[in-house]
Structure 1
């Protein structure tokens, strides 16, 4: 049964992956057609074509390898300086440029002269190239916000899950009380498991973050109002000064950093709590920020990834994962012994994270990514504007094809990194359980 559920989870993720890719390419397709650019192909996947159908002047299809997708637009690159588009050089670097230029005109038909990509104004080209990643951002936001507001997140509450019997510095990382350890303020005050703290020093509290801050700011006598079996009771406690985990401005614990603060001595219970619209927007913002930080940190993770793939190093929780790794996680989610609604929520969060990664990755200003074409169009717009201001000759369209040697290098790096992640995902995968 576990194997069946794992396979089901993988299939669900693959379907979500194909939809995300198709959704991305749909952004490119619709905006290209809106600006009159001819699009001969709209394909989901790479490799051999499994199915296709032509409608109008576009062939729509699905290919065998669900690792991406593409649309073909006529005239992605302008002709060379001499007006020619055919490859004609024996220089390997120059040949890359001319081969790319020639491929952009392979399906040129009579009447296409006015339907070429490069002839569109830079702002239109920016919209066409940005529309694909933006569709992924929209999908990620809709999924994330919907699940956050309807299902929610595992959140600490003001309910008591357990009472610490003595005062132990959190930096010691031990649970057993020594004879010299004083009794914890919570134990001395009579706080019990199941109590829900509703007020601290007379101030009503509804969430753990507020209560935690009030406790940390207090050393000495304090009153604690608890809801115990439906009846409110006031307990008197004398909070101790203790070394506790430091927190950042967002309330997140900073690893291995401790500060002196007020200490009560109990563990907060956790519940899955739906978020408000405002809190969901804040969490989505944090998700985007963390995504940007993760992409910036990718080069620094390569040594650990190499060790995990080809050595005996552990696969860290924050290690990069590819399509195979994400699919395995999807399979693992479906095999977990948790309620079905939790499985659905986790799968949706996984899909939202994948779409956000597609958006951020494609916005890198490097060819052959969408961000590289956007950067080229913006550069052209800037140079033409400066030429008008200083009354110089129009420099014409920016020839993105000249960057193809760099694009091949970037693509080679991406392929090598993808293969490294693939090996790690197969032989030393990230596991959520």
Structure 2
């Protein structure tokens, strides 16, 4: 590896780490701003964990940066109702720090004069929901802003109707080979005289300017067809006889599905690819697809653990859609900077990586499990439900729901998350996901 490659890799990792720290600070700013809006005292706002390397106190809040860029937190007075001893602890929005504080019963802060009216648990449930939701919501806002901005300003690599190459013969895409054999039929495109550089503008007399439309028409046609191309500035009509072939199945979004094949019409050429900016509407649709894929990925996490284990501790192949952690994402960021592509493309890829990371933070934190933000939201909603039910049925007010009673479950959940994080970390180090 050359010195230039090493320096570019380090630069890419540094850029990603900076984006990571900004995302964390942005997340905690959501918690901080809404907590202060509702009058909750917030003693600390920290980005990172471990030893403090810088801090300043403004008002009643200490703002700082810690040495380990693996998360962040704010501390709020009275996050849980008082225990049997009547004492109130200052808790943080960080799930991991919260677990540590629970394990150390002596680590609490006594109330200061006037704090009786600034306790988190005394706020109405809807206010607590807003405070806990504001952090993940900030990540969602950042992900959407980055994705839409880059999609409209830069765009995506998209197949066009221009011919990049012509297949010499008909090879089933399921065959796993790219060389012709004597028994293979000549491809319809080759037989019709289609050439590299031709731009297909019509199929069977129907004008076409999008690859998705052309691809569908080809797949739906078996037999004679006319193909109108622009060659050397002039339109030329070619006559082809499309054949049946096993081609990759397309999903509802028109994307090829790896490993799944259907029998359809086949012409036999490779489409040229260009980076095409999207309209606002198309960008929103793509963003919706990205969120849908993110939800599917969260749901599919348990099913990916065996393959992840094989990739980390055996000779298993690391799938392209394998879960990655901070270390893996940082390595991808470093690899992006070494790609032989224009700087604009590198910037777009880094921003998309950051958008995906923020979307993952939002979806992960919205799981209704303690010690995640979603667990606290679920607790506040449950309190609102039972208090309203008591009011309707004229029963005594049950009071605030003590989320701390669910801490045994939170320990189990945290233990599972920590084990999964360590597994991903090992896989990211010994068998990382790579981009091509």
The alignment's TM-score, normalised by the length of structure 1, stands at: 0.93
Give 1:420's match in structure 2, choosing from 414, 418, 423: 423
| Range with bigger deviation, 162-171 or 141-150 | 162-171
- Listed as ranges, the matches of 1:187-336 within 5 Å are 187-336=190-339
**Residues 98 and 425 of structure 1, relative CA distance in 2, 3 Å threshold:** closer
Structure 1: how far apart are the matches of 2:100 and 2:348? 46
Q: CA deviation at 1:166?
A: 2.3
Q: Among 79, 82, 91, which residue is 1:79 paired with?
A: 82
Shifted more, 361-370 versus 406-415: the winner is 406-415
Count of residues paired in the alignment = 424
Taking the aligned partners of 2:107 and 2:281, their CA distance within structure 1 comes to 46
Distance, in Å, in 2 between the alignment partners of 1:97 and 1:152 is 44
Q: Residue 248 of structure 1: CA displacement?
A: 2.0
* Aligned 8 A contact 1:43 1:62 in 2: yes
Other-structure match for 2:42: 39
Q: Could you list the per-position Cα deviations for residues 356-381 of structure 1 after superposition, in whole angstroms to 9, with x for gaps in the alignment?
A: 11101100111111000000001011
Are 1:394 and 2:397 an aligned pair?
A: yes
Tell me how far apart the structure 2 counterparts of residues 33 and 55 of structure 1 sit (CA, whole Å): 13
Aligned to 1:432: 435
My pick for the range that moved more, 31-40 or 172-181, is 172-181
SS at match of 2:64: strand
TM-score normalised per structure 2: 0.93
- Which of 123, 127, 150 pairs up with 1:124? 127
Aligned Cα root-mean-square deviation (Å): 2.0
Alignment deviations for residues 365-417 of structure 1 (CA, whole Å, 9 cap, x no partner): 11111000000001011111111111111111111010111112211221121
**Counterparts of 2:217 and 2:378, CA distance in 1:** 49
Shift of 1:204: 1.5
Secondary structure of the structure 2 residue equivalent to 1:73 = strand
Instruction: Write the distance in 2 (CA, Å) between the matches of 1:98 and 1:155.
Output: 51
Runs of 4+ in 1 over 4 A off after TM superposition: 96-105
Distance 1:42 1:26 in 2: 8
Question: Partner residue of 2:355?
Answer: 352
Q: Distance in 1 between matches of 2:121 and 2:323?
A: 36
Structure 1 unaligned spans of 5+ = 88-95
CA–CA separation in structure 1 for the residues paired with 2:149 and 2:88 = 51
Aligned partner of 1:90 in structure 2 is: none
